[in-house]
Amino acid sequence: MLFNYGTQSNAEALEKAMDKELLPLRKCSYHPNIVRMYSCFVDSFPLLNEAYVHYPMAIPTNISPDGYGRNKTLFIVMRRYDLTLSEYIHLSKPTHHERLLLFAQLLEALVYLKRHSIVHRDVKSDNLLICSSTGELVLADFGCALYQPPNLKQSYTTDEICKGGNLALMAPEVSFIFCQT
């Protein structure tokens, strides 16, 4: 379930506004290290048991006066993964060899995305999911991604153009790019 704070509560508008999240579904075939998405759909926001604890601001205003969410939101049907990378490292204490295998899987995912003209731009441990039974690592959460075929080049003609991605994790050579006029 993706949280909808400002998009109209209709399927077309939601899918257009959240299209980056759907890049693996729309632009990629199966890869073992990219989150497996089967489909997506728009439906009413469900008020789950612990919503007021875990995401109170996402609750629609017609349900909670303190919420900022909209009535409809986008749901992605995907495989369920057990842990994030940080949870896995904390709980399992992987060996040096196991850590190298995880890193290799991450690199496989990034190379695959590059071949499909996609840059993730938000690689962090919370967006790396682990299947504890197989040790499989997958890259998830494509909300900051860039799809720029054929060569991934993005021009910044003014300093006001958003570079995208997560600013806290952005490489210095990207975050400090200034327009040359």
Which domains are assigned to the chain?
Answer: 1-79 (no CATH), 81-181 (1.10.510.10)
Strands 146-147 and 118-119, how do they pair?
antiparallel
pLDDT value at residue 9: 85
Q: Cα–Cα distance between 116 and 26 in angstroms, integer?
A: 11
In one-letter notation, the amino acid at residue 60 is: P
Q: Are 51 and 98 in contact (CB under 8 A)?
A: no
Quick one: what percent of the chain has pLDDT higher than 90?
A: 49
Query: Helices marked H in the chain — which ranges?
Result: 11-17, 23-27, 51-54, 85-92, 96-115, 172-175
Residues 6+ apart with CB under 8 A from 176: none
Give the C-alpha separation, 146 to 51, whole Å: 30
Largest CA distance in the chain: 54
Catalytic residue among 82, 122, 126, 141: 122
Question: 31-80 pLDDT, tens per residue?
Answer: 999 999 999 999 999 999 899 999 999 999 999 999 999 999 999 999 99
46 against 148, higher pLDDT: 46
| Of the candidates 19, 35, 40, the residue with the CA atom closest to the CA atom of residue 128 | 35
Give the per-residue pLDDT at 141.
93
Using one digit for the tens of pLDDT, what is the confidence trace for 66-125?
999 999 999 999 999 999 999 999 999 999 999 999 999 999 999 999 999 888 888 999
For the entire predicted model, the pTM comes to: 0.78
Active site annotation includes 126: no
d(CA 61, CA 56): 10
Query: Residue 128's beta-bridge partner residues?
Result: 139
Instruction: Show Cβ contacts of residue 19 under 8 Å, excluding neighbours closer than 6 positions.
Output: 26
pLDDT band at 168 (very low <50, low <70, confident <90, very high): low
Angle at 74 between CA 72 and CA 77, to 5 degrees: 140
